[in-house]
Amino acid sequence: MLRSLARQFNFATRGFSSNKLRFYSAVPDGTCSTTSRLQGKVAIITGGASGLGKATAFEFIKNGAHVIIADIDPRVGQEAVDGLGPCAQFVQCDVTIESQLAEAVGVAMEKHGKLDIMFNNAGVAGKVFPHSITELDLDEFDRVMKINVRGIVAGIKHAARVMVPAGSGSILCTSSISGLMGGLGSHPYTVSKFTTPGIVKSVASELCRTGVRINCISPAPIPTPMVISQISEIYGGIPKEKVVEIINGVGELKGAKCEETDVAKAALYLASDEAKYVTGHNLVVDGGFTTYKSLSFPSPSS
């Protein structure tokens, strides 16, 4: 029987083996890739001008992708493109304005004729104070939800409009471990990040029938500009070096700390064909932080 199956296997597998765009080159030979995990793919990264978005743009380009950085800040966006080279392009985009997200997708279609990857990464931490739910500023809550939740949904909507007819594509969203455990962030931020994996699962239930994948990433705290600013405010404006020390000290995995490149490489995996059977998933990148909670009992006397 085993020989028969082997013969069948051998037989079955035989023979198989919008706008004018300005580019800035920082690569001498004009190439985009050192490896081919995303060769020829086209990606949009919202909030891609700094932090996790920029680190992911670098990783995508290094692996053969063309990246459209969609960010609200034109100065920082152009600076990012200058550093990333000819396979990066900047499009000014406020994710709270649906038409601007639609325009960013339109730029990808006009320039490249397709969109393979949509990384909904733009987000805000919101105000640190007040801490208490009894003093919650609902206008601030609405602002955070509009960017962190509605902005993601709008990005998914317009990416799906071009990916579904193509029958393929990978949509990614940035969440946080603040969406896995309470008390790690302000109420508006925490609520918004708890919502993200729910959006992913809801949309995956539809898009999986079309060949389009959708996943999210939940990283531990990383000393990005946004996080450093928030932690510094909590501790009364302490120096950046001290903030970085505090952030890097929260990890559980000995000898490691969560860095921008860890999230970028997680996004690279989920965006690539290596994750072709992964959808509706929340990839937690936290060194075990949310895996357990110690009771901190005193050591028993001997």
Q: Which residues are catalytic?
A: 189
Q: Is 165 exposed, middle or buried (0-12, 13-18, 19+ CB in 10 A)?
A: exposed
Query: CA 46, CA 224: separation in Å to the nearest integer?
Result: 16
Contacts 24+ apart (CB under 8 A), 290-294: 290/177, 290/180, 290/181, 291/252
User: Which token pair is 22?
Assistant: 């300005």
User: Residues with Cβ < 8 Å from 221, sequence gap 6 or more?
Assistant: 177, 227, 231, 247, 250, 258
The region that residue 259 occupies, defined by phi over 0 for left and psi between -120 and 50 for alpha, beta otherwise, is beta
**Coil/strand/helix, residue 144:** helix
Query: CA 154, CA 166: separation in Å to the nearest integer?
Result: 19
Q: Where are the extended beta strands (E) located within the chain?
A: 42-46, 66-71, 88-92, 117-120, 169-174, 212-219, 282-285
User: Which token pair is 242?
Assistant: 């001290």
